[in-house]
Amino acid sequence: MKRHITNRELARYIAGAMSNRKRTSVAEHLTQCDRCRARHEKMLAVIAPRYFSLRASDAAKVRVMRSRDKLAEGEDAYAPGGIRSILSLHPRAFIAASLALVTAVAVTAALLLRPPAGEARLHLAAVIADAGVTINDHPVRDRDKVFEQSAIILPDKTTMRLEYGRGFSITLIGPAIFSIDRLMSRGPSEPVVVECTLAQGLLVSASDGTGKKVAYTYNTPDARVEPVGTEFLLQSAGGTTLVVMKTGSVRVKPERSAESVAVSSGNRCMVAEKTEISKADPEDLKIFGSMEQLRAGAFGHRLLKPEPLGKDTELEHKRFKGRLIDHKQIHGNSKRKLQLETPDNRDKERGKSLRRDKIISPVKPGMREKDRINKNKKLIRNAQKAIRQKRRTSR
């Protein structure tokens, strides 16, 4: 062979896949050609055996024989130990046990984190709420939850109905400033305690005795009204409190007097400088027939003259158990603004006490309504600002 060996020929020669005649020819060439011989030697060096001298350890044989014995006994040659063996042998039992454990942990956590029964946080439902009505400076929409420590402001000609179950309801008619000071129950068998304050305005309270028992009390600047399963009208305006009974009876305790008086059905009670109880006119009882007419002012001549919001009223705040703050006294503002203050929310911001997300009113208010809302907002903002200032100065 006069030419150099090709890669194919070299490969076939090394592999031994060549005919004898060709093989002899290549072998002769390799003895004569240094270049091809170098290539051949390089190739042989590259593919020289590298692993043949390696030996498997003796332990490998022992392992194989042990595996054979295990398999003969019906065990798995690869069976893992510890918790993995349980998982591989009883996967369903393992999963069931894991789920049971997770459930137990979740139930325990839920029981531990559950609030005590005595401190269960109850709420009233705002069944009907007109546009412009605000709770703690937030517009209200229907079916919102109203918790304790909520200040409700109703502009003129607006109404709002609060319910607890089916047996107890409060219908508020604006202009009104109302707050729910306390709403709690000591236990499942104990009655629900509701304490409200009607700073000004008008409400109709109804309790038909069905559903869960509710022990409720209304405070006005002039009196404390404790009804016992009844339906009545309560109005507070211009330093006067008016109670018109439809059914049942209420106990009225005037602020100026130590003695309380009982007002039974069909009577009306006026609490001002003096407390007067008189027989209600049949026309008075028609008030309970139509809330719409009541809101429209159809019974204005039978009730107290309502006060507009934001105007200077003649409320005697000092006698109002410290719940109302006269801002004129605080920073000499000519406008008297009311801020409901209770011991529990004294250190809280008012907006946080209503436990719900930001509310978007479903009813788009008109320009006039917007003015009213803004006015209310401004009123509350100023009051909060005054409280903050007062705290700063007291420190």
Partner 1 sequence: MIDNKTLSDIYDRHHHELFVYICGFTRMPEVAEDFLHDAFVRLIRYSQKYPLDPDNIRAFLYRTARNICIDHARRNRKLDISPLKDNIESAGSVPEDDLELRELRSKVNSLVDDRDQVSRSVYLMRTELEMPFQDIAEALGISERTAKRKMSSMLEYLADSLEKAGFKLFIFFLLSLLAILIVIYK
Residue 143 beta carbon to partner 1: minimum distance, rounded to whole angstroms = 55
Given candidates 2, 31, 34, 52, which one binds partner 1 under the rule CB under 8 A? 52
Whether 245 contacts 253, CB under 8 Å: no
Which of 2, 3, 16, 358 is close enough to bind partner 1 by CB under 8 A? 16
Taking the complex as a whole, the smallest distance from the CB of residue 25 to partner 1 amounts, in Å, to 17
Chosen residue from 3, 17, 83, 113 binding partner 1 by CB under 8 A: 17
Sequence-separated (6 or more) residues with CB below 8 Å from residue 254: 222, 223, 260, 261, 271, 275
Is the bond preceding residue 343 a cis peptide, omega within 30 degrees? no
- Give residue for tokens 């194919």: 8
Q: Residue 113 is encoded by which pair of tokens? A: 């984190």
- If one asks whether residue 128 binds partner 1 (CB under 8 A), the answer comes out as no
Single residue of 2, 21, 54, 392 touching partner 1 by CB under 8 A: 54
Determine which residue in the list 25, 67, 333, 382 makes contact with partner 1, applying CB under 8 A: 67
We find the least distance from the C-beta atom of residue 37 to partner 1, in angstroms, to be: 14
Which secondary-structure segment (H or E) carries 252?
Answer: strand 240-254
Alpha helices in the chain (DSSP H): 7-15, 20-32, 34-46, 58-72, 83-89, 91-113, 282-285, 291-296, 327-331, 367-394
Q: Are 232 and 216 in contact (CB under 8 A)?
A: no
Among the listed residues 31, 72, 114, 258, the single contact to partner 1 using CB under 8 A: 72
50 touches partner 1 (CB under 8 A) = yes
- Site string (23-42) toward partner 1, x via CB under 8 A: ----------------x--x
| Min separation Cβ 8 and partner 1, Å | 5
- Distance, CA of 253 to chain centre: 38
Length of the chain: 395
Task: Decide if residue 367 touches partner 1 (CB under 8 A).
Answer: no
Q: Say which amino acid occupies 323.
A: R
Return all residues near 354 (Cβ < 8 A) that are at least 6 apart.
Answer: 135, 136, 138, 146, 147, 150
Residue 96 contacts partner 1 per CB under 8 A: no
Using the rule CB under 8 A, is 79 a contact of partner 1?
no
Judged by CB under 8 A, the residue of 19, 31, 53, 394 near partner 1 is 53
Q: Which stretch binds partner 1 (CB under 8 A): 7-15, 132-140, 156-164, 247-255?
A: 7-15
| CA–CA dist 302, 294 (Å, integer) | 10
- Mask 193-222, x = binds partner 1 (CB under 8 A)? ------------------------------
- Applying CB under 8 A, which part among 51-59, 99-107, 143-151, 323-331 lies near partner 1? 51-59
- Report DSSP state, residue 324: B
Alpha carbon 30 to its chain's center:
91
CB 251 within 8 A of CB 216: no
Min. distance of Cβ 46 from partner 1 in angstroms?
A: 5
Q: Which residue has the tokens 């349980």?
A: 86
Task: Work out whether 166 is an interface residue with partner 1 (CB under 8 A).
Answer: no
Among 22, 68, 143, 391, binds partner 1 (CB under 8 A): 68
Interface residues with partner 1 (CB under 8 A) are 7-8, 10-12, 14-17, 39, 42-43, 45-57, 60-61, 63-65, 67-69, 71-72, 77-78
